[in-house]
Structure 1
Amino acid sequence: MNRTSKKTFGFLLTTLLAIAVIISGCSSNNDKGASLPPASSGSPSASASPSASNAADGEETVDVLRYPLTLTFASLDPHLVPTGGVANIDRHIYEQLVAFNTKYEPKPVLATEIQVSEDGKTYTFPLRKGVKFHNGKELKAEDVVASLNRWKEKTARVQTSFGDSLFEEVDEYTVAITLAQPSNDVPLQLASYLQFSAITTKEAIESAGPDGLTEIIGTGPYKYVEYKQDQYVHLTRFDDYVSPEGPQDGVIGKKEALVKDVYFDLIPDGSTAFNAFLAGDYDFASVTVDNLPQVQSLSDVTLNKVFAGELNIVFNKKAPFPSNVKFREAIAAALDAEQVLAGYTSDPELYRLNSSLVTPDNAEWHSEAGAEKYNQKNPELAKQLLQESGYNGEELVFLTTRDSAGAFYNATVLVVDQLQKIGIKAKIDTYDFTTMIARRGDPAAWDIYVGSFSNQASPSQVLFLGKSYGWPEDEQLQQLIRNTTEALTPEAKKQASDALHAYHWNYLGAVKIGDTGTYYANRNNVVGYQFFEGPILWNTKVLKK
């Protein structure tokens, strides 16, 4: 079986990778928005000048904030890159019609409200007036329609949910979509963090090439300045930004660019970023269990824990052996989920067993249907199923990356170790993150992918259930997903979710390993910073040390 390089999926990274780092530093040159190279570990912080918005408080704050991400990518196009990692940057440039608050409830951002017809088929979104794009153009319905129809075209899971329906212009400041069937799913898909529904200008959509948007124009509190390949992305304050009203809650509510310039430094190696944090260059860091004692000894640091991800084994259903359900059943039978999770996190506080497609606290959609096939720890049954599948020691390609602080690679190694014990012959193909994503889209390039995924608000948003993610081209599965989106009462949602979960554990397009958490730390001179599905740098200021 000939295979070539590999690249991994983006969203997985989102949860563990977004926990990068902030560096505060500024000089008189930087105040003019000049391009800066990535900060080097151990370099002294430059002098800071008082921010105009804080001068009255007598606070001396920095005008330049640097935030390293353990990330590489090929494009900032939010409609093309299925990863929360890139959304960490894009969410500061672009906005959505609706977005999630911290309870994962979709609320208006560029829209003023969400109107739903009595039959549950038509969603109407009046737009806020006076909102400006970064090029000075006022946001109109034509821009929203062009953006969202392109987003739908590029997003397989949205196509499954919305069918052939398109967004349409009702009037200059109103947009609507009418579906063939009732749906609860439209606001959830629009608010998603992954491959998110960013709004740009109609002209930017029309000029987009095969490699993505050629203009990076949003309505967010920061506008794009420069992307230095594999080094940094530079954003600067958008002085004409028009903020939504209300208190900040997740991605909704008031947004204010308190820091003039933001640099997202791209540092794929997590240890490099952490060492720079210890050296005092960064104000925020992802913290491994091994690094916990070092952080706990710092008096000026606050330690936090986020439970926002999960591990899954995804099968390429177009590959010879993973396309065989007996083979997939063998992997599910062999898996000792707790052993993998314990090795992955090295901390019982950072994992939990969970067979469901959503978290246990998501009462609306959580289901234990099919859970008897989760965490079986039955190698003898696995060997029998392998034999029935026709597998006879052929080499299988596991796709992964060492980027994102090793999150994907470490999980892959732990899974491979278990599968080798039942007779699986494995080849681990390791690439940089961008290449892995590209390889993941090639059905001839891999057999199995072990990924870190962010939690989703509903089953319809789960990436590997979509037709293009591992190619689960099973019509019954797709119909069951549609059933979850068409359920309008709590009872109907429960029934639809149970049916989908039961079928998912029979079909086994992916095998759930479990939920994961991570520690992160921020220095106490960071004020107003929030982390929700990634960093939120608006409403954030960094006091001069």
Structure 2
Amino acid sequence: MRWQRNPAVLEPWVAESHSISPDGLTYTFKMRKGVKFHDGTEVKAQDVVYSLDRILAVGKGAASLFKTMVDAGAAKAVDDYTVEFKLKKPSAIFLSIVPEIHIVNAALVKKNEAGGDWGQAWLSKNSAGSGAYKLAQFDPAVGFVAERFPDHFKGWGTKWLDEIEFRAVKDTNTRVLGLLRNDFQGIGGYLQTDQLNRIKTNGNAQVLEAESMRVMMAQFNMTRAPINDVHVRRAISYAFDYDGFNKDILGGLVERNPTPLPNTIWGVPKDVKGYSFDIDKAKAELAQASAKPDKPIELAFLTGFQQSEQAAQLLQNGLTKAGLQSKVVGYPWPTIVDKFKDPNTTPDVSIYWISTYYADPHNWVGEMFSSSTAGTFKNAAHYKNPKVDALLDKALSLTDQAERSKLYEEATRIVVDEAAGLWIYNTKWYGPYSNKLKGIVFCPIGSAQEMRTAYYEG
């Protein structure tokens, strides 16, 4: 299964069809014949079985979510083209996260396993998939090159890109200048309004726009003083100038979301207004706090992402006005994710984005505030609340959307009242590309940009 288009629709991909048992515990998928891995071997049910077992064993990516639904050995190859999943309990979102089972070539990865690592070391420099493009070159300091896989089962149109080079360029200005000079044909990262306008008026480039479900927020480390005091968290929430950031700095290109959920998803409690910029209220909350800050609060941003840094600086300004000392520190994404694993190394406040991996409220409030995800980038707050866990667990066990919506709304009310995070905006997607690049199809799930349909004109 794969999420496609915008609004996102879950469509059959490697699977042709699926069925669900009446008790909701068994999912059976019929697979397409003739789907090939990059080495020419056929994708079969045993590859799916190995891929899920590998995810559960390695414990990264979607593993924490799958572990709430299935045990090791839950997948079974009924025959070469039929795979069966046995769930521990019914789950409303299992089908939605099936696309997170990234199928690898079992025989190839097994051949390159070392010391029981499930091929992690080898896969850090090689690929074993079946996608439209295959890895041709890789240098962690520079980037990688992917070349077209002619035998991709979805086929190709009349035009395509033979090769795509991805370069790691941290500096925003360097990326933008490279696009304008046509050194790059597309760039990533969250750009400021002036940079987007610069690209739009250049003549060599374009900015594609689409509705998105990605949210920008700050996660609070709730395991230690002073952030473990709800009044301190509320004070921080009141100290951020939401309108100043969203309207002035970003030029109104985004929309405020007062909760952890994007405004366009069901499950948002419409009665919750969230926090607004109010220094007097921030001071009043600090006066009620039992934890008195005795050192600067660490405000972490992502290096190379200007918006993240600007948000941290704006928050620092508000905290200073409220009487709180803080320091702004930047970390590369891999570094900060590693820090999240341990409450002792997790920054006090971390500002970044939560992407859409599946179109369900659980993608946001469910994973950000479940005790099962504590220590991951989804739950860098290390948030644990038995009442919220109970609401989220029940929501996962039901199939009626109206009933599930009520549960997510209640869980959201609790975390907002506890100021368990700071929620800044629900973004649009802006894709800066060469104006000669055509055919890119955007999907808000993972901010995916389909390159199989892209081609270069001119």
TM-score exceeds 0.5? yes
Matched, 1:119 2:23: yes
1:473 alignment partner in structure 2: 384
1:327 equivalent among 210, 216, 232: 232
Question: Does structure 2 conserve the Cα–Cα contact (< 8 Å) formed by 1:393 and 1:423?
Answer: no
1:66 alignment partner in structure 2: none
2:171 equivalent among 266, 269, 272: 269
1:441 alignment partner in structure 2: 341
C-alpha displacement at 1:260, in angstroms? Answer: 1.9
1:69 alignment partner in structure 2: none
Structure 2: unaligned runs, 5 residues or longer: none
C-alpha displacement at 1:432, in angstroms? Answer: 3.0
1:242 equivalent among 123, 132, 153: 153
- Output one character per residue of 1:80-136: Cα deviation in whole Å (capped at 9) or x when no partner: xxxxxxxxxxxxxxxxx4334422232211111232222333222221122111123
C-alpha distance in 1 between matches for 2:237 and 2:196? 33
2:98 equivalent among 172, 178, 190: 190
1:167 alignment partner in structure 2: 75
C-alpha displacement at 1:292, in angstroms? Answer: 4.4
Give the direction of change, closer, same or farther, for the CA distance of 1:332–1:512 in structure 2 (3 Å limit).
same
C-alpha distance in 1 between matches for 2:392 and 2:82? 29
C-alpha distance in 2 between matches for 1:329 and 1:168? 49
2:456 alignment partner in structure 1: 542
Q: Which moved more, 1:303-312 or 1:137-146?
A: 303-312
Matched, 1:338 2:243: yes
SS for the counterpart of 1:407 is helix
Give the direction of change, closer, same or farther, for the CA distance of 1:305–1:203 in structure 2 (3 Å limit).
same
Matches within 5 A, 1:96-107: 97-107=1-11
C-alpha distance in 2 between matches for 1:156 and 1:464? 15
Give the direction of change, closer, same or farther, for the CA distance of 1:292–1:451 in structure 2 (3 Å limit).
closer
Matches within 5 A, 1:68-107: 97-107=1-11
Aligned length: 429
C-alpha displacement at 1:482, in angstroms? Answer: 2.2
Q: RCO (CA 8 Å, sep 6+): is it higher in 1 or 2?
A: 1
Question: Does structure 1 conserve the Cα–Cα contact (< 8 Å) formed by 2:28 and 2:85?
Answer: yes
Matches within 5 A, 1:132-531: 132-152=36-56, 153-154=59-60, 155=62, 157-159=64-66, 161-162=68-69, 164=71, 166-191=74-99, 196-203=100-107, 206=110, 207=113, 209=117, 212-215=120-123, 216-243=127-154, 258-285=160-187, 288-299=192-203, 301-308=205-212, 309-345=214-250, 347-348=251-252, 350-362=253-265, 364-368=266-270, 371-372=272-273, 374-387=274-287, 388-404=289-305, 406-445=306-345, 446-455=347-356, 457-462=359-364, 463-465=367-369, 466-468=373-375, 469-470=379-380, 471-517=382-428, 519-531=430-442
State the identity as a percent.
21
Give the direction of change, closer, same or farther, for the CA distance of 1:169–1:159 in structure 2 (3 Å limit).
same
One-letter amino acid of the structure 1 residue matched with residue 269 of structure 2:
S
SS for the counterpart of 1:294 is helix
Give the direction of change, closer, same or farther, for the CA distance of 1:139–1:259 in structure 2 (3 Å limit).
same
C-alpha distance in 1 between matches for 2:79 and 2:418? 45
1:16 alignment partner in structure 2: none
Question: Does structure 2 conserve the Cα–Cα contact (< 8 Å) formed by 1:399 and 1:428?
Answer: yes
Give the direction of change, closer, same or farther, for the CA distance of 1:520–1:132 in structure 2 (3 Å limit).
closer
C-alpha displacement at 1:200, in angstroms? Answer: 0.4
C-alpha displacement at 1:159, in angstroms? Answer: 4.1
Structure 1: unaligned runs, 5 residues or longer: 1-96, 245-253
1:21 alignment partner in structure 2: none
SS for the counterpart of 2:120 is coil
C-alpha distance in 2 between matches for 1:147 and 1:503? 37
Give the direction of change, closer, same or farther, for the CA distance of 1:122–1:233 in structure 2 (3 Å limit).
same
SS for the counterpart of 1:227 is strand
C-alpha displacement at 1:227, in angstroms? Answer: 1.2
Give the direction of change, closer, same or farther, for the CA distance of 1:105–1:199 in structure 2 (3 Å limit).
same
Question: Does structure 2 conserve the Cα–Cα contact (< 8 Å) formed by 1:222 and 1:235?
Answer: yes
C-alpha distance in 2 between matches for 1:507 and 1:148? 36
SS for the counterpart of 1:284 is coil
C-alpha distance in 2 between matches for 1:439 and 1:418? 26
C-alpha displacement at 1:538, in angstroms? Answer: 1.0
Give the direction of change, closer, same or farther, for the CA distance of 1:385–1:170 in structure 2 (3 Å limit).
farther
Question: Does structure 1 conserve the Cα–Cα contact (< 8 Å) formed by 2:239 and 2:315?
Answer: no
- Output one character per residue of 1:269-323: Cα deviation in whole Å (capped at 9) or x when no partner: 1211111122232333566321344334345644432342321110123333223
1:33 alignment partner in structure 2: none
Give the direction of change, closer, same or farther, for the CA distance of 1:99–1:534 in structure 2 (3 Å limit).
closer
1:41 alignment partner in structure 2: none
C-alpha distance in 2 between matches for 1:359 and 1:256? 38
